[in-house]
Structure 1
């Protein structure tokens, strides 16, 4: 693993209560006594980068733990959604990480992402690995290539900590303290504040009451005594429905209680060699699941995702029977989320039969941990970021935003708020935080139009006004047909250029950024910050695509543009007299762009108008059935 350089290094652990512990590394030796619960903590003195070291932890007259091959260097957190999560294997990289570049000073740490109502002390699991072809290909591609770029130029060990999850919105990565400053999250923050219990505590409390609750309220009614789930049960007279759906979509809007569903599935020879994954996604409110008469799982909480495993020993090549008892404790009920990933066993035609009906007003509903990890505020932060605050990190690389496109304007407030809160919790008020701006995606627009992705990019750009917060553009390396751009190496390279500036004192290298503009009767002159570089065009004729221009009426037209000098562009249109406004790359996918600097870095999208944007009034609203 990598320990942080030039700072106090916290080492914590557990031992027998009231036991003397000795911790040694290099020339340091520290003694501590565990408390009545066996917990202990010491601070290693700051160490310069280097290693490898041996970290030894020894109980007096007891056990000894030896951790070898420990380096001291810089730690970077790789956070965000799927474009940070995607590995070289997930991207089907044809080329592999360079076999001849072993990267002995680069280490990878993958955090098992989890969720909770309250901040946890520890992550569920985290594994440190040395770099080889296998570990590199199964780690964040952006993170791996970023770290590899840093250690290629610097003789400083680098540790990468990957804590991210695809399809997640920014509020899932924000803590209670900062969410309370935004009124749109009041319903969620007030509810969790009232509960004020962790998932583990709620589960323990629920388990203590399960036996009585099951027998008196939950596990009752038609289907259980008759064993509708058994292999060989004749359900040919059951009605048909198409799932996913709520009960109301097939005529049972007023039904609270149980509804039974059945369908068959076949497996091929290869699938029969392993346990089989049953993905049912979200179910309102409770469920119990059987395959071929064998119960394989149950869950509680309408927003939680269901992912079960059928052991290979019970599987058949043809005619496997999947049975799901869904129990609705009030409001909507059903198996309601489309199987957009995992196996498609959920989608399609099912047989169903109504079970017991209940009075939802009198039915006791146990409090359980409940929330989608993709959209429920703070759950991922509490379990997957908060425990890391004890670990002194060097900085953060952040690639997220796609999931917030419908509320792009709101993102301009949420991102800087999250950055400030993370910095406060890490007790590093100027910790570098490096952002990847959304890439070009979807089909090109034939005419200038509004764009949620352009608005989100603008919101990301606004965060860079904070000290030591900066941004890289991916506007030129996206894919119209794939939300996950393939070229993660270039994204990582651009992030590494920023890191080398903010952490290692090198000259700042980034793409041209709009600085100011001036109007003439027939054109608009745009001045750029070029950071010691010069504007140029990738096109051999000097064309500059991606500009749109408008007069006072705000009707934008594709414009012509040309270089005036090293940091100025002239934009014009023959049919737009007295032009007032310019937009550049203001589109989900602006298509091929030519404006770069002499280092080949693309200019950032921008606009000079202040027209109200399409997402400006859209803010978070709690939805118990949100994906």
Structure 2
């Protein structure tokens, strides 16, 4: 059995960071000499008492592919093949960073036939936690390059980011992807970074107890299985096979779909509801292979066409996109049946833009929105809350991020915040502590850190979950040197936590990276308000002085071109809607109700925008802000 071990990050296909000392590390028998050779450059060192070795080869420019050979004085040797030297970025956050290519293939169909891009590679770390302390090595991960198969599991934001970096720098791009849907910022922070947050540190300690952790995991599983099984056993639709075509639905009620259930007889219902829709198909579609789109639903569904199950989705977020086999449909009297399970009384078949309800192929389509029939299958108690163990403080950092600090990178991109919007901890302070902690551990004081600001979003938000206010908190990252912030207003979907327009997000991340790291001299962000000054010859009017404001204009992002998102803030904190016009690279804002005691001005500080967005020459919207009036 070989004694010499290299970390997973140093495996076939890896991308090593150019212009930084190349770190080769691993484990072997204590006291043996280990040698590393890369493209004729050699370094060696003796292993420590615990068997660890660290070899640093000189920094160099990009190139490859090379073989990296690591051997020891006892005769063991490992050769790592297809090594590139280029630029490496660490990609982290929650679901919108994790979001894979498969989820946007309908938005960007070229992904299904994408050409091989061997110079863009990713190392995806599978979800894992440790509450006892940081790992030295990952338990999962390997390097893969882009092709039509692998792109479907790539972080799609990171891919579009890498594609732009590749065009900008002509270097191989390596992406280390440590992300997990639903995770909180404190999940990605070490115990030391959380100093001062006693409650979060106590959370780490509590989940470090394996017995407690196992009990919570079993509780999660048991309560979920019990809820599902109890509902199944009570469900009249299951007992009477309501999925069948010949089901008598003459006494079923009707509902216009898509719709929120608020204000309907289904408001607050917990349990199952069965929906039926009769539909005809054009001859070009009848009997042919097709796809079925049903938007999103809360919470989970089983879907049937003509009595045959065509798809199941176990939770609310993924759009329902199911394949219909050849021969299943006909021209007349088809039946769509959906069994919808509702866990918390917040059911819906999601209405709004980009949510399509149709069956289609390349030749024809048939719309499925309109009047559906429905009948309650069963009523039950609410699903007990889930303990998402892996989201707790420090767990993801210890198992997924900590081993990456040995691997030099050019910077960090970060798309996270949705799970912290309604939480009491100071997100701006946590962000700063995390950035400084990461920079210390990567041994680079100005390591670029670029965050994605949350986009427009409305559906399901409570009063405590104010995305508009949260964007103002995210703005504070720009007070930290060598940071960037991607503005995404207009790229979101008001009715979906996971918008599919991801290409501009990656491109805007790359513009910031170009500015911070690669000498890019073009415009790299949208307009930013620098100051708010009173207009001397007008009452209740101010001038917004801007930076990055070349060729200002108003862009219609689905809500018209009227500027409707400026508000004056008076001394009592009350908001007053304002009118605005673009004037010679600045913006003049006037109060609609002649407010005389305004102390501040806001732009786009609600969950979504209501009118046109102000953009600059490269089409990026002005950053949301609240600034005092000078």
Assess same fold via TM > 0.5.
Answer: yes
Q: Deviations over 1:13-71 (max 9, x none)?
A: 23455544332111212334445655433222212111111111234463432222111
Q: Which residue of 1 aligns with 2:541?
A: 524
* In structure 1, C-alpha distance between the alignment counterparts of 2:174 and 2:458, rounded to whole Å: 35
CA contact (8 A) 2:187 2:394 kept: yes
Whether 1:510 and 2:525 are equivalent positions in the alignment is yes
Q: Which runs of 5+ in 1 are unaligned?
A: 207-217, 219-228, 230-239, 246-259, 269-337, 352-369, 611-627
* In structure 2, C-alpha distance between the alignment counterparts of 1:441 and 1:391, rounded to whole Å: 36
TM-score w.r.t. structure 2 length? 0.66
CA contact (8 A) 1:409 1:456 kept: no
Q: Deviations over 1:257-303 (max 9, x none)?
A: xxx9997799x9xxxxxxxxxxxxxxxxxxxxxxxxxxxxxxxxxxx
**Could you say if the C-alpha distance between residues 443 and 111 of structure 1 is closer, same or farther in structure 2, counting changes exceeding 3 Å?**
closer
Give how far 1:104 is off.
2.9
Give how far 1:105 is off.
1.8
Give how far 1:415 is off.
1.2
**Could you say if the C-alpha distance between residues 371 and 427 of structure 1 is closer, same or farther in structure 2, counting changes exceeding 3 Å?**
farther
Aligned equivalent of 1:474, options 480, 488, 492: 488
Q: Which residue of 2 aligns with 1:31?
A: 44
Aligned equivalent of 2:192, options 167, 170, 177: 177
**Could you say if the C-alpha distance between residues 571 and 435 of structure 1 is closer, same or farther in structure 2, counting changes exceeding 3 Å?**
farther
CA contact (8 A) 1:452 1:588 kept: yes
- Partner of 2:36, secondary structure, is strand
* In structure 1, C-alpha distance between the alignment counterparts of 2:192 and 2:588, rounded to whole Å: 44
Whether 1:433 and 2:441 are equivalent positions in the alignment is no
CA contact (8 A) 1:408 1:456 kept: no
* In structure 2, C-alpha distance between the alignment counterparts of 1:262 and 1:593, rounded to whole Å: 46
CA contact (8 A) 1:73 1:156 kept: yes
Whether 1:563 and 2:582 are equivalent positions in the alignment is yes
CA contact (8 A) 2:36 2:42 kept: yes
Q: Which residue of 2 aligns with 1:535?
A: 552
* In structure 2, C-alpha distance between the alignment counterparts of 1:349 and 1:395, rounded to whole Å: 52
CA contact (8 A) 2:65 2:82 kept: yes
How many residue pairs align between the two structures?
471
Q: Which residue of 1 aligns with 2:610?
A: 591
Q: Deviations over 1:478-528 (max 9, x none)?
A: 101101111110001111000001111112521111211123553332424
Aligned equivalent of 2:411, options 377, 381, 395: 395
- Partner of 2:437, secondary structure, is helix
- Partner of 2:553, secondary structure, is strand
**Could you say if the C-alpha distance between residues 408 and 470 of structure 1 is closer, same or farther in structure 2, counting changes exceeding 3 Å?**
farther
CA contact (8 A) 1:398 1:435 kept: yes
- Partner of 1:179, secondary structure, is coil
Q: Which residue of 2 aligns with 1:82?
A: 95
Give how far 1:173 is off.
0.9
- Partner of 1:29, secondary structure, is strand
* In structure 2, C-alpha distance between the alignment counterparts of 1:71 and 1:464, rounded to whole Å: 33
| Cα RMSD for the two superposed structures | 4.1
Q: Which residue of 2 aligns with 1:497?
A: 511
* In structure 1, C-alpha distance between the alignment counterparts of 2:589 and 2:417, rounded to whole Å: 32
Give how far 1:578 is off.
5.4
**Could you say if the C-alpha distance between residues 350 and 409 of structure 1 is closer, same or farther in structure 2, counting changes exceeding 3 Å?**
closer
CA contact (8 A) 2:411 2:448 kept: yes
TM-score w.r.t. structure 1 length? 0.67
Aligned equivalent of 2:420, options 395, 398, 404: 404
Q: Which residue of 2 aligns with 1:123?
A: 138
Q: Which runs of 5+ in 2 are unaligned?
A: 1-13, 242-313, 319-338, 344-376, 381-385
Aligned equivalent of 2:567, options 548, 563, 568: 548
CA contact (8 A) 1:399 1:435 kept: yes
* In structure 2, C-alpha distance between the alignment counterparts of 1:112 and 1:590, rounded to whole Å: 36
Give how far 1:467 is off.
0.2
Give how far 1:110 is off.
0.5
Which is worse superposed, 6-15 or 569-578? 569-578
* In structure 2, C-alpha distance between the alignment counterparts of 1:340 and 1:539, rounded to whole Å: 30
- Partner of 1:442, secondary structure, is coil
